[in-house]
Each structure stands twice: as C-alpha cells, then as structure tokens.
Structure 1
Amino acid sequence: MNWKNALKDYRSYLKIERGLSENTITNYSLDVEKLMKWLEEHEISVSPVSISEEVVQQFIYSLAKKVNSRSQARIISGLRGFFSYLVFEDYRKTNPLELIESPKTGRKLPDTLSTEEIDSLIAAIDLSKPEGERNRAILETLYGCGLRVSELIDLRLSDLFFAEGFIKVTGKGSKSRFVPIAEATQKYINLYREQIRIHQDIQKGHEDTLFLNRRGRKLTRAMIFTIIRQLSEASGLKKKISPHTFRHSFATHLLENGADLRAIQQMLGHESITTTEIYVHLDRSHLRKVMEEFHPRR
C-alpha cells in the first residue's frame, strides 16, 4: 500500500465510519501530507506500512525546529490517528507513534469580547447597504446562539423554529441539536429575510439556505472571517478576533451570569463537559459564587 492510497482510504474511513466534517478530514489529511512531503524531501523511500518509529521520530524532531509545541502536538495526534487506522485495518502490527509523547502545551484560554465591544462591532455595520441587515443578523446569531462558523453558514430556513424559540443546528459529525434563540435575534433574522433576502435572485439548490451572498448562494467560511475583520477595523477594536470569538463570548457571558455548565455544554454541542470547563478558567469568581451559594458550610 502506498501513501496516496492509504490516505484516500483513511479519508473514506473518517467520512463514512466516523462521520467527520470535510474541514476536520482535511486537517487530518494535512498532517499525513506533511510527513509524506518530508519523506520526499529527504529521499526516504518507505511505505505507510513499513515506516519505522525511528523515521517518524526524525520527522517529529524536524517539526520542533519549525512549529510551536501546540502545532507539533496537533500533528502528532493526527498522525497517531492515521497509523491507528492502519493497525485497525491490519495493514500494520504496531503504531509507530505509540511511544512518542506529545510536547507539553499550556492550556490556551479563548479570547472573549465584552458586551460593549460586541455592541460596538454591530454599530459599525453600514445598514444603508443591502448586506448590512444580513451582516447584523449574522453577528447577532453567532453571539446569540454560540454557533461555530460552519454551523452558521449551514443554517437553513427549515431549521428555524421561532414559534418554539429554538433553531436546529447541525454540528460536528453531522450531529443535530436544538439551541434557544432570543426574540431579539429572531427580530434581526426576520428583518434580513423580509427586507433583503426576499428580493434576491436565489440560485438553484440554495433556496433553503438562510444567509446568502450577493449571487444568491451560501456564504463561505472565508467570507464570515472577512466580514468580522472589516467590522473590527471599522470599530477600532484592537483585539484579534474571529467568528469563534463570538462563540467563546456567548459561553463566558452565560457562565458569568450564573448559567449551569451542563446547559452551556448542550447549547455549544460539546461532546465532553471537559471542553466546556475551559470557560470556568476565564472567570474564577464564578467558582467562588457557587461555593458561597451551594456549600453547606457557606
């Protein structure tokens, strides 16, 4: 088995068996491709079935000179998954990364925005332009529902259950969840639908897509990043932010206002509560409040 075929089979496994998104599959594939490129550059002719732990170790050492410990740990994790798949399919007997430890990385706390900063970003939107109402609805939805950017651009009209106060969100691994949506967010989405979207020439296959570009097609991830970057510059915000910043802010503000961590986990679509627990580190005063309110010796 050569590298190209092994990677093709692995991608199929991740898509069909694991149900992972295209973005996640691409990221895993890039980790394997980095190793393939390194082998080619160093004229090392080995297959994914025969490559030894020593050769993989040399590749890991070369990474340490080029990327930070966090990126290094992510690549090691990606390769470990690839070779675990080969072991699972009986192409290999052992995983060459089994005994290779990932570098220690500090836990990076997510950046957040204050409510004032979010209001400032939204105020920077030019509502005189056709895309203004759409962009306001996008930011309000990102922050108001704590969505990932991929979840936002995949939202459909048929996912909106405003009468019940929920939207249906399709997250990682094609898993669906229902997220509460505030009346204020509903209002901005309806303004966009009734004043802008209804007048657009919508391309075939995108009739059910909620947020559309000027050509009547689904927005791209890159476009959402561009919208936020431009608004950040227009509002004079000094922080480096992304669509995910709104999701972090959503979770942090809920926690600060006393929301239950399990409820936040469900709304964010985190599979493990440990992923959600990172927000506790952002506001340790929340822990003190919990102790003072619920401990029997308070």
Structure 2
Amino acid sequence: MANRPQQLELPPPRTYCRTEFTALRARVKGLPVATIARLYFDPEEHEILDVERLLRTMRDDLVSRVVTRALGRLLEQLPDLEESARRQLAGTSPHAFRHTFGTQSAAAGMAIEVLQQVLGHGSLQTTTIYVNAEQQRMRPESAKCHARLAAGRGE
C-alpha cells in the first residue's frame, strides 16, 4: 500500500448516504467535528457506510483535506489544550489515523487476515507491522506490571 496510488471509486451520487457525504466532506458543511467523527466511525448506526473502502483510500487528497479541516475545528473546540498537544494534534495525518485503527484493531484481536483486507494491504507481511507495534507497546506495560508484583513480594 505504501507508495502505491489508489483510486477512490464511489457509487453514483444519488446512492450516497449522509454519512458518506460527511466522511468525505462532499457538500456537507457546518457539522460539528464530534458529529462527523460519530457518523464516520459508528458502523452499527450507519451501516451503508463502507468503512473498508474509506480506510483503503485514506491517502486520497480529498480525505486528507477533510481530516485537516476536522482537526482545525477540533482544535477550535479545545481552547484549554496544552500547546504541545495542540501541535501534535494539528500535525496528525490521515495515515496516522489509519495506523491507529490498524494497531487498535490488532490489539482488540481482529484476525490478521481480516485486518489485511480492511486496510487493503497486498501482503500479509505489511499488516504484521500493526501487530508488531501492539506487541512493542505491550512489553513496557508488562514489565511495569511485573515490577509492581515483584515489589509487592519484597523481591
């Protein structure tokens, strides 16, 4: 997937649901960021939305612009956010959301083959990056837990 251009194939406009318009920022303006996020990421409430297709095309310029605008609006709604967190959030890319989705899906136990299909990876090896990222995150947490247990036993 990396460096491989992808085409965004959408059905004719009359078959779009409001969620797809919202997620792709196609003529739907003025919705709060929280509403956009809920509509975009709640597949049970809005089953017509093809999340798989959207995740496969996260590098599309249109989606990139949507994410950038949504992050700008989110920052406006979070005036008390620390400056370092504001900079980090402002610099978040669609690919970072995609990577977070992949890592969290792997952590939640999604079968690697299913995750491969959802992310549109041609190679299973590419998808294992998300599993490895989760394993690397777990190691320090596991070490902390073992250290607390050892301290509790007086070792």
TM-score, structure 2 length as denominator?
0.46
Which structure is higher in helix share? 2
Which structure is higher in strand share? 1
TM-score, structure 1 length as denominator?
0.27
